[in-house]
Chain A
Amino acid sequence: MRKILLFIPLFVFLILGVFFYLQLGKDTQYMPSALIGKNVPNFKLVSLETDQVLTQADLPKRAYLINFWGTWCPACHIEHPFLVELAEQGVILVGVDYKDEKALAEQWLVEKGNPYTMILMDELGHFGVDLGVTGAPETFVVNRAGQIVYRHQGPISAENWPEIRGYLQ
């Protein structure tokens, strides 16, 4: 009976070892979104293309992506061609021009193409804060019921797209 007690440290070590081993390789920057399972927050923002005020009633009625971007954001330059490809495949993209200037954004779309079905101007970044955005690019997947089901930080690329597409339904 006494001998078993001597093995307690070994057992504790093994349990902790397995626990810590399973934590290895996880993305330490990953942060779950607080909005998963919730509806897109209410907004009243001006459209970049038509200058009209848009609200959540104008959002697509099918599953779609909300993509935060800005001309000031280097990673958005890398992401943009892939977004154009996605749009060609029929993916619905709602763009949010985040903390940006209108003229620069318009020039960007002329030069690089416009993959978005609609673009909201979030010049002050309030809509970004409402969605818990930490920077750009950042993408939210909204399902057919209008609920946010996934959030991706950083550029979308061919590598991470299969996982994101899994949520898009």
Chain B
Amino acid sequence: MTSLKVLFIWFVLAFSVSSMADEIIQFSSPLNKTRYQSLIEELRCPKCQNQNLADSASGIAVDLREQVHQMIENRKTDQEIIEYMVARYGEFVLYRPQQSSATFLLWYGPFILLGLGLVAFVLVLRANRRKREASL
């Protein structure tokens, strides 16, 4: 029984190696690797619109991942890398849009609605209390 289990584990491991060989990227420091991971998760693939660069297998995503890798290793800051991408692909590539007048509602709309809801809630409470007092 245990030998069967071992055999099964080897079987599974045999497949894992080929999937790891997909893309091996070297980093000069663990920090660079972490920055790379967070950047490609936050940048959107311009070709396949509902995936980030990390998830996409499209040709352009592979190229852009390589670009991010090179820029990190060339000591560019995260801000510089994001500006580089926005200059070429527009704000579209950001999963967290920058704050501007165009994205004001996007960022603050939910809070404005919440505020309106609170105001309505208080008004209804007050009206009810007044009604109750009048009926007493």
Contact = CB atoms under 8 A, between A and B. Distances in A.
Interface of A: 28-29, 31-35, 99, 125, 128-135
Contact of B88 (A29, A99, A125, A130): A130
A33 B92 CA distance: 10
B119 to A, nearest CB: 14
Interface stretch (B23-31, B56-64, B72-80): B56-64
Interface of B: 46-47, 49, 58-60, 63-64, 67, 86-90, 92
B89 A135 contact: no
The 10 closest A-B pairs by CB, nearest first: A34-B90, A132-B88, A134-B47, A134-B46, A132-B89, A125-B63, A134-B60, A135-B47, A31-B92, A34-B89
A29 B49 contact: yes
B88 A129 contact: yes
Contacts of B67: 129
Given A29-B49, A31-B46, A133 B60 contact: yes
A29 B88 CA distance: 17
Instruction: With a 10 A CB-CB cut-off, give which of A31, A32, A34 has the most chain B CB atoms.
Output: A34
Given A125-B63, A129-B64, A33 B49 contact: no
Nearest to B88: A132
